[in-house]
Structure 1
Amino acid sequence: MTENWLNQIKELKQAVTHSGKFHADDVFSTALLRYINPDIHVERVNEVPEEFDGLAFDIGRGEFDHHQEEKVYRESKTPYAAFGLLWRVLGAELIGEEEAEKFDHRFVEPLDYNDNFGDDYVIARIISNFNPTWDSNENSTDAFWKAVDWAEMILRAEFEQIFSRIRAKEEVLEAAEKAEDQIMILERSMPWKKHVKDLDLLYVIFPSNRGGYCAQAVPMEDGYQELKMPFLKEWCGKSGEELQELSGIPTLNFVHSSGFLSAAGTLEDALEACKRSKELGTLNEGKQPVLLNVSHGISSEWSKEQIKAAHAYGEIIDFMLPKIEGDISQESVENFIDDTVAKILATKASVVYCDGETYLTYGIVRKLKKKRVTVLGACHNLNHEFVEFVELK
């Protein structure tokens, strides 16, 4: 078997893996095979039978075993284990190349890293805990299948989320083709921001789960709070009869203080709010925002260059947090966080980068997010190498 792996796995009758103590590697490999082919028979053996013509993984030193000297490595230098070797040939066929790469980086690679280097990883530890204890009478193979059931449940949930995102993208792009006046209307609420960043849209309307319709202003880019064209400034923070009288739109009942969201009782009024804001508002021309760099020490020039290269931000202001030493009350910590957030907001920086993971930075991030400020952090791979900047939640 060398190509069209997905179809071959669907038709495969049997596979083998090693017996004895099991790990996340062989468990998730089995779960993946069973997800693709529920009828496949996987047997745990001490060695691969001589005449065996099925698929062997994590045993036998073949294509899907990683115990030989000539290991296969990712670009991140993490060696593939059996689960990763299977995913490498099956993932793109199963969920598409882009999603398969993301899933490998987020889910598969940490498990492979654990299997190769013994790094403590919670999912791997949970699988390991399915093994019978030294004083248990439970059969190891029975325990193995319990672990596989759990792993398959996790994979099914992960894949359904991925397929859901793919379906959302298809519906969003279809709706975008029908958009008029740079306003897109969705028939139901779904993730849309990642799919419209390169489209000529200003507003997106969709049914609200509270009844009526919501309309959102499209951000300058995904994960970034600055908007192409917010709802009218004089409407922001208003609601109910006050807003309806001010706007002249009968069922417009809410506009967020930042201008990113409005709510109306009817589709017609949600559409009117968008059209009115487009007609009377001011288009954001995409000026370079200021980035505030919050850290416990002045960041290196390399770090600043990475930030600029990743997001094309303009001026970067260093905002150094003082160290808090000795005993200090919770109230003092909260006051410090409140004061720091107030100072950050006073700079009017549209994006904040937080360097470091401490209780103080966590508190600052939490409060900035409540103010709808975009907060970034650095993402590193398992070798502690910089990968990308991601929005903190």
Structure 2
Amino acid sequence: MSDAKRIKLDTGARPVIVTHSGTFHADDALAVNLLQKLPQLADADLVRTRDAAEIAKGTIVVDVGAEYIPEKHRYDHHQRGFFETFDADHKTKLSSAGLVWKHFGHDILAAHLKVDVSDERVPLLYRKMYDDFVEAIDAIDNGIALYPDATGLPAYKSRTDLSSRVGFMNPRWNEPFDDADLLARFRRASAMAGDEFFDRVDDALYAWLPARDIVVQALKERKSFEGADAQGRILLFDRAVGWKGHIYDLETALEIPEAEKPLYVVYPDESGKWRVQAVPVNSESFESRKALPEAWRGIRDAQLSELSGIPDCVFVHQSGFIGGNATKDGALAMATKALNM
């Protein structure tokens, strides 16, 4: 039985979601919105309090109460000795948002997609939404640095992330407010966090998942198309597709040997010309597994065609991460030649 199905509702009584009063943060704002997606809690009352007697009445309690007891639907993370993570592959300590997603994410997705929880898309989106959205909320709320080994001041400030934007929805230090105002502000923050979250779910559903199927097919066919590299180090797409979000996981899933991992991706651009792009070392890196040849970088058009010996060249970026050719065959020739340079 899923955690959502274990929620016990008293006959005739409205369920109650409890979180803490006072200043709110992105984790409790998101946690509450996620819970409200569950059919069992869609009409739940929301109580913001630190009163132990009121907390005890909650159907489900998040970010307050100093207890993590899933069987009682108590999901706080502030107490001494709490070190729960999403799974064995993650090291980030969970906040209330991560706890709700860990225990209810499958059911929340099923409710949003209007499918059964056994739908094969649910576990893929469950993991992706934690990695791409919820984990950052967990880390920021728990004070975990993005670059724990970095020293010195950052090159710039970033205060446009969701956690910062939720924080700015609290009253200013010198602004008068009461409990009703705080509750209204919290509801707006929770709605904002939830809207962004489910917009990202929809983006994954309608763009990321279809792209995954295309990347799987390209990886399987990378040695068999006309002009292919015998080791499969060139991926070919007949249209631009979001491949970076899939290639690394799929290389592992398909057990592709290191010597056969793609180094270049060839695809058409929006103008009808073709691009050859070097595969980054990972999805967040600007460093390429094998950048296009240094001698080509920053060179364009006829000069590049003469230098490379490949007709119809358009450009190679000065960093070598991407280049262009007027034709598919030309882009493939650039990728093939670059493999051996």
- The TM-score with structure 2 as length reference comes to 0.59
Secondary structure at the counterpart of residue 26 of structure 1 = helix
Residue 260 (structure 2) pairs with residue 206 (structure 1): no
C-alpha distance in structure 2 between counterparts of 1:276 and 1:221, whole Å:
23
The answer (yes or no) to whether the contact 1:204–1:216 under 8 Å persists in 2 is yes
Residue 3 (structure 2) pairs with residue 5 (structure 1): yes
Q: Please, which runs of 5 or more residues in structure 1 have no aligned partner?
A: 115-119, 283-393
Question: Which residue in 2 is equivalent to 1:270?
Answer: 331
Question: Which residue in 2 is equivalent to 1:73?
Answer: 83
Question: Which residue in 2 is equivalent to 1:83?
Answer: 97
C-alpha distance in structure 2 between counterparts of 1:168 and 1:273, whole Å:
25
C-alpha distance in structure 2 between counterparts of 1:57 and 1:149, whole Å:
17
1:150: how far off? 1.6
The answer (yes or no) to whether the contact 1:239–1:253 under 8 Å persists in 2 is yes
Alpha-carbon spacing, 1:108–1:228, altered in 2? closer, same or farther (3 Å)? same
Question: Which residue in 2 is equivalent to 1:354?
Answer: none
Question: Which residue in 2 is equivalent to 1:192?
Answer: 244
Alpha-carbon spacing, 1:7–1:252, altered in 2? closer, same or farther (3 Å)? farther
The answer (yes or no) to whether the contact 1:58–1:65 under 8 Å persists in 2 is yes
Post-superposition CA distance 1:283-307 (Å, at most 9, x none): xxxxxxxxxxxxxxxxxxxxxxxxx
Alpha-carbon spacing, 1:56–1:277, altered in 2? closer, same or farther (3 Å)? closer
Question: Which residue in 2 is equivalent to 1:43?
Answer: 45
| Bigger relative contact order (CA 8 A; separation at least 6) | 2
C-alpha distance in structure 2 between counterparts of 1:8 and 1:29, whole Å:
18
The answer (yes or no) to whether the contact 1:132–1:139 under 8 Å persists in 2 is no
1:85: how far off? 2.5
Q: Please, which runs of 5 or more residues in structure 2 have no aligned partner?
A: 110-124, 145-158, 224-228, 252-257
1:262: how far off? 1.9
AA in 2 matched with 1:106: A
Post-superposition CA distance 1:234-266 (Å, at most 9, x none): 544321223334545442211234544220122
AA in 2 matched with 1:66: D
1:205: how far off? 0.6
The answer (yes or no) to whether the contact 1:83–1:112 under 8 Å persists in 2 is no
C-alpha distance in structure 2 between counterparts of 1:275 and 1:221, whole Å:
22
The answer (yes or no) to whether the contact 2:63–2:78 under 8 Å persists in 1 is no
1:87: how far off? 2.6
Post-superposition CA distance 1:29-55 (Å, at most 9, x none): 1122235559701312462686x7x54
Question: Which residue in 1 is equivalent to 2:31?
Answer: 29
- The TM-score with structure 1 as length reference comes to 0.53
1:227: how far off? 4.2
Query: Larger C-alpha radius of gyration, 1 or 2?
Result: 1
Question: Which residue in 1 is equivalent to 2:140?
Answer: 110
Question: Which residue in 2 is equivalent to 1:100?
Answer: 130
The answer (yes or no) to whether the contact 2:170–2:185 under 8 Å persists in 1 is no
Secondary structure at the counterpart of residue 96 of structure 1 = helix
1:212: how far off? 1.1
User: Aligned runs of 1:53-72 on 2, under 5 Å?
Assistant: 54-58=59-63, 62-66=72-76, 72=82
1:71: how far off? 5.8
The answer (yes or no) to whether the contact 1:78–1:113 under 8 Å persists in 2 is no
C-alpha distance in structure 2 between counterparts of 1:193 and 1:145, whole Å:
33
Post-superposition CA distance 1:208-254 (Å, at most 9, x none): 244411102345666363544734x6544321223334545442211
CA RMSD of aligned residues (A): 4.5
Alpha-carbon spacing, 1:37–1:272, altered in 2? closer, same or farther (3 Å)? farther
